[in-house]
Amino acid sequence: MTRRLLVIGDALLDEDLQGRAERLCPDSAGPVVEVTEAAIRPGGAALAATLAGTDPDVEVTLVAPQSRDEAGRALRRTLPPHIRVVDWPDGGSTSVKQRVRVHDRTVVRVDRGSGPALDAPLPLPVRQLLAEADAVLVSDYGLGTTKLPELRQALTDRPRNCSLVWDPHPRGGRPLRGSRLVTPNAGEARQAVIAAGHLDEGDGLAAMTNYANDLHRRWDVAALAITMGSRGCLLSYGEPVPLVVPSPAVVDGDACGAGDMFAASVASRLALGAVIEDAITFSVATAGRFLAAGGVASVGSTGMSSAWDQRPVPTVDRDARVVATGGCFDLLHSGHLATLRAARSLGDRLVVCLNSDASVRRLKGPHRPAVPEGERRDLLLALDCVDEVIVFDEDTPERVLNQIRPQVWVKGGDYAGAVLEESRVVASWGGQTVVVPYLDGYSTTSRLRSFAPDRFAGSTP
């Protein structure tokens, strides 16, 4: 069933100028940037709505003041057609955030535009939309929209079963009392408590816990989630012991938009009926996949939808020597570990091609696997020697091998002398298939038969 999400706040136009810098200005120490590529995309609440709109289970409506200038028209063109936009004209000028980037690093940011004049009343449809919404995301970028008394009253009057998520800004409006969740980042939380007279305790985990509890009391909200970048997210209900959701390891890249992805994902999950803890856990992983897929550079591309996929986005470095191995890895044992360690020693990264539950049943019999694929994948990823796990549904991993194209394909020593179809596939791009020593005496099938001989008597080794 499709749920309704209302995104309210400040809409901006973001522009990135990518270039190279090989010399300095003759009259200063500033670099001369030769622009090689320019791209525009929605920013602020418009970006949050765009990201939320990639969730196929959520219908998104954007409510934000819109100037009629050239930048405003360009901003509207960047919005996906399936995002409903409420007409809210204003007499100001569109805020534009322009980044000049060299070697994937921002060297300067130029902001222009006065922002909305906010001289028009709240559009009439907004109260009806609030009455029908399952959740509301307030995306505050400090331009004044969230301070409007009429808007704040409309949000206060929303139905009680409509979850309110408030993504705050230091210059924006105070989060509405009774919000279900407020989502500042670590810097915003620290700045907010210091501005209120709280002692600056730094940016450690204990400090973040104190900041969260202070803001929880000060803002009088149900829960507060502080996003901490690579350290994950801290969720507080005002208690001494918070919930911390670790962030998945991702490649280093442009972090712009990760907070919007997190907030959009949380609001979407709550609209779909998730509890806060589950919404936070899902959204930390979603933000990580968003960054791994290219971050804001992927906005508007088909690759952006992969952020909502529960499966991980492969992050294999193509300059590394990639080694791959495969199997069911059902009831993980020391024989598996020996193979995996040996495989990892042959290269820089080890990718494990894991048979799905359906694939294992076809290969091993109706009572297998003993351990479902989600647990098998998690156990493999917990090993230091494993860098990536990709689940496949076929009987053999040729499709996955064509995707990752490893330099080395490894099988256990029990396959020595066997003719493998994968060998031909790997050889097609110059890769090599090898076997590694087999640790005798370890067999999943033998162990399962010893535990339950009747059930696993027909299981294939």
Tally of CA atoms within 13 A in the half-sphere of 340 that contains its CB? 26
Cβ-count burial 292-318 (b if 16+ within 10 Å, e if not): bbbbbbbbbeeebebbbeeebbebbee
Q: Where are the beta strands (DSSP E) in 263-417?
A: 322-327, 349-355, 388-392, 408-412
Q: Where are the beta strands (DSSP E) in 177-248?
A: 181-182, 224-227, 233-236, 243-245
Q: How far apart are CA 43 and CA 50, in angstroms?
A: 9
3-state secondary structure of 339: helix
Q: Where are the beta strands (DSSP E) in 25-152?
A: 31-44, 58-63, 66-67, 84-86, 89-90, 96-102, 105-112, 135-139
Contact partners, residue 417, CB within 8 Å, separation at least 6 = none
Number of residues in the chain = 461
Parallel, antiparallel, or unpaired for β 89-90 and 66-67? parallel
Structure tokens at 415: 């396959």
Parallel, antiparallel, or unpaired for β 233-236 and 243-245? antiparallel
Q: Is the Cβ–Cβ distance between 165 and 270 less than 8 Å?
A: yes
* DSSP letter (8 states) at residue 82: T
For 117-156, where are the alpha helices, taking DSSP H only? 125-132, 149-156
* DSSP letter (8 states) at residue 49: H
Structure tokens at 290: 């968003």
Q: How far apart are CA 390 and CA 388, in angstroms?
A: 7
* DSSP letter (8 states) at residue 440: T
For 334-443, where are the alpha helices, taking DSSP H only? 334-344, 357-364, 373-381, 398-404, 421-427
3-state secondary structure of 282: helix
Q: Is the Cβ–Cβ distance between 199 and 184 less than 8 Å?
A: no
Q: What is the DSSP string of 154-178?
A: HHHTS-TTSEEEEE--TTSPPPPTT
Q: Would you call the peptide bond into 314 cis, given omega within 30 degrees of 0 as the criterion?
A: no
Residues with catalytic roles:
260
